[in-house]
Amino acid sequence: DGGITQSPKYLFRKEGQNVTLSCEQNLNHDAMYWYRQDPGQGLRLIYYSQIVNDFQKGDIAEGYSVSREKKESFPLTVTSAQKNPTAFYLCASSIATNTGELFFGEGSRLTVL
């Protein structure tokens, strides 16, 4: 089945540690996105990538980094510079830039201890 796979589903981190969230898609989509979801705040865009080896900052990129070395993969690193990293992180993809259909993975819950 085609889809978006995020791992791990749950992750605990100590303060000062970097963690990397994995996102893999087999939908052959060009565009990939990372969102952060907090209660009552909706989805906020962290980074997005339209093509391999290119990515753009979203609304809340500070303290995060990404790479797009393969079309299928768009990992997100939450660095120690992110002041409030505890959140639900969602990876998404869309087939192209001129269409509105956006598909999501199952999410990764990061908790900082």
Partner 1 sequence: QKEVEQDPGPLSVPEGAIVSLNCTYSNSAFQYFMWYRQYSRKGPELLMYTYSSGNKEDGRFTAQVDKSSKYISLFIRDSQPSDSATYLCAMSAGTGNQFYFGTGTSLTVIP
User: What whole-number distance in Å separates Cα of residue 113 and Cα of residue 100?
Assistant: 37
What are the residues binding partner 1 (CB under 8 A)? 4, 6, 31, 33, 40-43, 45, 48, 50, 56, 88, 90, 94, 97-107, 109
> 72 and 93 in contact (C-beta within 8 Å)?
no
At its nearest, how many Å lie between partner 1 and the CB of residue 66? 14
At its nearest, how many Å lie between partner 1 and the CB of residue 84? 18
User: Looking at beta carbons only, is 91 or 112 nearer to partner 1?
Assistant: 91
User: Looking at beta carbons only, is 58 or 80 nearer to partner 1?
Assistant: 58
Closest by Cα among 47, 30, 53 to 82:
47
C-alpha 49: how far from chain center: 10
Closest by Cα among 79, 103, 99 to 5:
103
User: Looking at beta carbons only, is 48 or 64 nearer to partner 1?
Assistant: 48
User: What whole-number distance in Å separates Cα of residue 84 and Cα of residue 79?
Assistant: 11
At its nearest, how many Å lie between partner 1 and the CB of residue 8? 13
User: Looking at beta carbons only, is 81 or 106 nearer to partner 1?
Assistant: 106
At its nearest, how many Å lie between partner 1 and the CB of residue 7? 13
> 13 and 110 in contact (C-beta within 8 Å)?
yes
